[in-house]
Amino acid sequence: MFDYGAGNLHSLAKALATAPGAEVRVQEDPLRALDTDVLVLPGVGAFGAAMARLEPGREAMRAALEDGLPCLGICLGMQLLFEGSDEGAGVGLGYFQGQVTRLMARRVPEMGWNQVEDDRTLSSARLDTVYYAHSYVCRAADASWVTGWTTHEGDRFPAAVRKGNVVGVQFHPEKSSSAGVRFVQAFLQEVSR
């Protein structure tokens, strides 16, 4: 798991550790974070600050993802997988084309439980209601990458995206009770095959 200085590491590490055979290691160096079977980009924080920490390894991380390194990006971690964000400076990983924009709603941030519509992210862990805590959302350039949608006050945006073994989720599975833990376990099981 890559630690960019603001992620929700404790809860996420506990959720990851529930998967059979999982060994969770936290790494602050973006290049050393690539020495793993599965890269996890945690949620919580600001895009600009996170990208500043990731920048020394940005090209290597993008190349590793393109070469097939499985990755789970959560909330801000999902946003880092995109090209850039209106929230702050810095170039994202660009694994998914598209921009991160402010949530178009009266109540921002969205904090609380909301549904995932038409979820097809993982074959063995369908999601329904999960926990969100965010002010920015990903606007994917290609809707075929979107594997689940959600709506907050009329703004419909991706709840989940997937391309190969790289999955990004706008919600927090580590805060989404047993359904979120099942999702993390299913992701790890699926990408370890």
Q: How many Å apart are CA 98 and CA 142, to the nearest integer?
A: 8
Q: For residue 134, indicate whether it is catalytic.
A: no
Token pair of 144 as six digits: 């075929």
Q: For residue 75, indicate whether it is catalytic.
A: yes
Closest Cα partner for 50 from 12, 88, 105, 98?
88
CB neighbour list of residue 127: distance below 8 Å, 6 or more residues apart = 116, 119, 121, 148, 159, 160, 176, 179, 183
CB neighbour list of residue 23: distance below 8 Å, 6 or more residues apart = none
Local structure of residue 45 (DSSP, 8 states): S
Residue in the structure block whose two tokens are 């020495």? 35
Choosing from 71, 75, 134, 138, the catalytic residue is: 75
Q: For residue 174, indicate whether it is catalytic.
A: yes
Closest Cα partner for 193 from 12, 1, 21?
21
Choosing from 23, 55, 174, 190, the catalytic residue is: 174
Choosing from 87, 134, 172, 190, the catalytic residue is: 172
At 176, which amino acid appears? Answer: S
Q: How many Å apart are CA 27 and CA 33, to the nearest integer?
A: 5
Sign of the CA dihedral running 54, 56, 58, 63? negative
Active site residues: 75, 172, 174
